[in-house]
Amino acid sequence: MKESELAFWQKTARHYTRSMDRSAPLYAAVCERIRPHLSRDMNVLELACGTGQLSFPLSPYVRLWEATDAAPAMIQEAKKRIGSSRLHFSVQDAAHLPYAPESFDAVVIANALHILPEPDRVLREIQRVLKPGGWLFAPTFVHGGGRLARLRTWCMERTGFHVYHRWNAGEFVSYLSMHDFRVVEHALLGGRVLPLCCAACRWTPAERITAQSRSEGRLHGRYPGTGLGTAE
């Protein structure tokens, strides 16, 4: 995240919890989609947690919920609230996580991939820290199209909020699939102007091998097993 964008979230943190109150029904719907996949023996990592809109309601259902955000002010605000003993907050860079490989049973990243300049780097870190068969929950705002959607995005960007990726729902699901996450289910929530695509994905050992092979193929300029070089 660029320094100017981090500064925006630092400045926003003080009023973030209150401003999110109007989105409470949407976050409740996201929780309803994620909760059935959680269990008491799971360790969960949350990236871009904000002030805990998902952290607080979902953490009681797992063994450990590690909630992280790049903005220290967001974490400071989150720590002012009382939560489960299973919930821990810390400041972390989602593209450079300190956790060992295969540390978590699930990763949650809500409403963040579309505002990251290089979301691929974050997905690679997610794959590294996920256990075989682990879950990725990635509820993300997508674009419904039309003049009103473009106007809303334009107004948001005037405040310093920048959107790098304007996926529609189909494009977002394809993006996750192209990065070797198997999308088990997805649903559109919220309004038609700026709907939220709530995607639940699995990361399996077989897909991990495929991802490694593709990476090696790119490094060597070939696609393994095809005899074909990369396109110029």
For 7-62, write each residue's pLDDT tens digit.
888 888 888 888 888 889 999 999 999 999 999 999 999 999 999 999 999 999 99
Distances (CA, A) of 110 to 196, 205, 207, 221: 10, 24, 23, 34
Give the pTM. 0.83
Per-residue pLDDT tens digits for 80-132: 998 889 999 999 999 999 999 999 999 999 999 999 999 999 999 999 999 98
> Are 146 and 117 spatial neighbours (Cβ–Cβ below 8 Å)?
no
| Residue 227 zone, left/alpha/beta (φ > 0; ψ -120 to 50; rest) | left
Catalogue all structural domains in the chain, each as residue range(s) with its CATH number: 3-229 (3.40.50.150)
Structure confidence at residue 145 (pLDDT): 60
Going along the chain, which residue ranges are E strands?
Answer: 43-47, 64-69, 87-91, 104-109, 130-137, 140-141, 182-189, 196-203, 222-223, 228-229
| CB within 8 Å of 49: residues ≥ 6 apart | 55, 67, 68, 69, 74, 75, 78, 89, 110
How far is residue 80 from each of residues 16, 74, 96, measured CA to CA in Å?
13, 10, 26
In this prediction, residue 137 has a pLDDT band, given cuts at 50, 70 and 90, of: very high
Give the rounded percent of residues in the chain with a pLDDT score beyond 90: 62
Single-letter amino acid, residue 116: L
Q: State whether residue 25 is helix, strand or coil.
A: helix
Neighbours of 86 (CB within 10 A): 17
Tokens of 100: 């060992």
What is the pLDDT, as a whole number, of residue 165? Answer: 86
pLDDT in tens, 138-186: 999 998 665 655 555 555 565 555 788 889 999 999 999 999 999 999 9
DSSP for 40-67, please give it: TT-EEEEES-TTTTTHHHHGGGSSEEEE
Amino acid at 12: T
